[in-house]
Structure 1
C-alpha cells in the first residue's frame, strides 16, 4: 500500500522501513526544491568569504547533472512526489541554458575575430599560428605571449596579418591597419591593450586584447581577488571608451555569468550567448568544462560564434563573425 505521501512501500521490513522511506523522500523533495532555487537565484548565492557564489556561477551549466541524480534517487525510493519535485531544477536549467543548445549562428557579418590564450608553455607556437591563420579571421588577439613566442607568431602570421602590435603578454594581429595602439593598465604588468582597426570599408572598431589574472580553487576557497581587481580596472577603461563599436577579446579567467565580472559584462554582450551553438567551453582544451575565453561586443551584432580546433595550448581558441 502506498505511504500517505505517495511513496509506495518498496519492500523494506515493517513500519520502520516505510517511515525511513517517507523521511528520505521528504528530504529528497526538499533538496530538489533547494537545488532549483539555488540555480534560479544563482546571483544571490552568498560568497561566504570563499567566493562560493562566483564558483557556483562559473560551474552553473553543470548543475544540470543534479537532475538525473535526483531522478534516480526518486526512482530508488519509488516516490512520485520526489520525482515531480525534480522537475523544478530541470525546468530552471532549461530556462537558463536551453537556448544554448540551439544553433543560433547565421550568415552575414563583415568582421571575423579570433581570441586565443596561446599558453606560455606551448611547445609548438608555429603550429598554433598555422591553426589560427587557417581560420581566416580579420583580427587575432593572442594572450599569454612570451618574448620568444611573440617573435614566432610575428614571423608565422606576417603574410596573412601585415599589421600587428604586441605589448607585454598580449598582442593584436590584423589584416587591416591599426591605429591608437596603447596598453590598458589593468594590472601592475601589462595584460591588456587596445587598438583601432581600420578596415577599408565600414567604420573603425576599437579592439581590446585582455588577459585577466588567474584564479585558483584551493582549501582557502575560490581565490579571485586579483582577477576581480583587473576586471574593475578594465571596466573603468571601457567606461571612458568613446568608440561606438567595441570588441573585447580575451581570457577572462571566469564565466560570463560570474557576478565578479559584472563590471565588464554588464557593458558588453557575449557573441557566444547571442550567436553560438552549444555552451562553447574553452578550458582545459583536453576536456573543456568552463568557458573562460570570450568575444564580448558593444555596438556590433554577433552573427556567429564558435570554438576552433585545439592547438598546443591548454585553451581552445574562440571565434566570432560580427556585423558593424
Structure 2
C-alpha cells in the first residue's frame, strides 16, 4: 500500500488562512461596509472587539501547524494595532488648567442623592449631566449647589461650573422625530431639549462648552441596527460646532456611539478625543457593570487634553468620564 502523504505546513489550514485575511480586510475596509440597516455603524461600534478573534485563530493555526494561517494573521494584527494600538499605552500628563467631567446620570438611577454627592467630590471644575429627569432635577441642583455656584439646565441636560456661565442656549439637534417617524409638538419640544451651548469664563479667556445627549440606538426586530435619530442629531450638532466662533470648544455628553462610528465624522473632523490623546486604555463606559463600548465622550478643539479617566460608578448604567485640559 502506498502511504498517504499529508499536506505540508503551507498547505494546511487554508480555510483558516482565508478567515484571517477576511478578518484583516473587514477591519481595514470597515468604512466601505454598507450602512443599510445600520450594519456599518454596528461593525464600527464593535470594531475593537474584533481583535479577540486574532488569538483564537492563532491558537487554532498553531494546533493545525499551519504556516499559511500564521502568516495570514499578520494582516489583522497590523490593522488592529494601527487602529487601536495607541490606546494601549498611558498618554496622560500631570497637571492641567481645568478639569471637565460628564455623566449620563440615568433616568432610572435609584440613588440621585448619592450620585450628586460622588460627582461633587470628583473635583471637576465643569460638570455636565445628561438624562436629568424632572423628578431628579431638584436633587442634583441641591446636591451640587455647594461645589458649583453656577449652573444651567435646559431640558434633560445641564452644566454645573465653578466658573461663571453666560450666553447659555439650547442647541437644536432635531430631537423631534422618533423611530416611527412621529414628531413632538413644537410647544413641548423644549421639554425634550437634549443639547445646550454655554460660555465658561476662565482665567485664560472664554471657553465654549456643549453638552449633548444624542438619540438612542436600538436593535429592531425587522429594521436592523436603528440609528436614524442618533445620526440626525450628530449631523446637526456637527453643524452647530462648525458655526461656533470661539476657537476653544469642549463637547461633553452621551453621544450613543463611539468615535470610530462614521456617523460622527462631522464631529471628529473638528474635535479631538481626550481619551484617545491623553487616556490610558479604551475607557469603556457602558453598561456600567461591564463596560464594552465608550459612548460617553469628551471632545475638544483649541485646548490640549492632558489626561482622561473614568470616575467611580454611580447608580447610573453609565460610567462618568473626566479629563484635564490645558491652554
Q: TM-score scaled to structure 2, two decimals?
A: 0.91
Q: Assess if the C-alpha contact under 8 Å between 2:9 and 2:65 holds in 1.
A: no
Give the C-alpha shift of residue 76 in structure 1. Answer: 3.3
Aligned match of 1:215:
217
Instruction: Return the match for 1:194 from 180, 192, 197.
Output: 197
Shift of 1:6: 2.8
User: How much has 1:4 moved relative to structure 2?
Assistant: 4.3
Where in structure 1 are there 5+ consecutive unaligned residues?
A: 8-21
1:128 & 1:44 partners in 2: Cα distance?
42
Of 264, 278, 291, which aligns to 2:294? 291
Match for residue 117 of structure 1 among 76, 81, 104? 104
2:280–2:309: 8 Å Cα contact kept in structure 1?
A: yes
Per the alignment, in what secondary structure is the counterpart of residue 204 of structure 1? Answer: strand
The answer to whether structure 1 residue 300 and structure 2 residue 287 are counterparts is no
Question: Matched residues in 1 for 2:246 and 2:135: separation?
Answer: 33
Aligned equivalent of 1:59: 46
RMSD: 1.2
Within-5 A mapping of 1:77-92: 77-92=64-79
From 27, 30, 37, give the equivalent of 1:42: 30
Show CA shifts across 1:27-73 (max 9, x none).
Answer: 111111111011122212222x2111111111111010010111122
Give the structure 1 partner of residue 260 of structure 2: 257
**Which residue of 2 is the match for residue 184 of structure 1?**
171
Structure 1 stretches of 4+ moved >6 Å: none
Alignment partners' CA distance in 1, 2:151 and 2:217 = 29
> How many residues are matched?
306
Once the two structures are superposed, residues 100-158 of structure 1 have per-residue CA deviations (whole angstroms, 9 ceiling, x without a partner) of 01000002321110000000100101111111111101000000001121110100010
Listed one character per residue, the Cα deviations across residues 189-227 of structure 1 (whole Å, up to 9, x for unaligned) are 30000110012x111101111000000123321100011
* 1:246 partnered with 2:246: no
Task: Report the equivalent of 1:30.
Answer: 18
Counterpart among 82, 90, 93 of residue 103 in structure 1:
90
Cα distance in 2 between the residues matched to 1:183 and 1:228? 19
2:274 maps to 1:271? yes
Contact 2:285–2:292 (8 Å) recurs in 1: yes
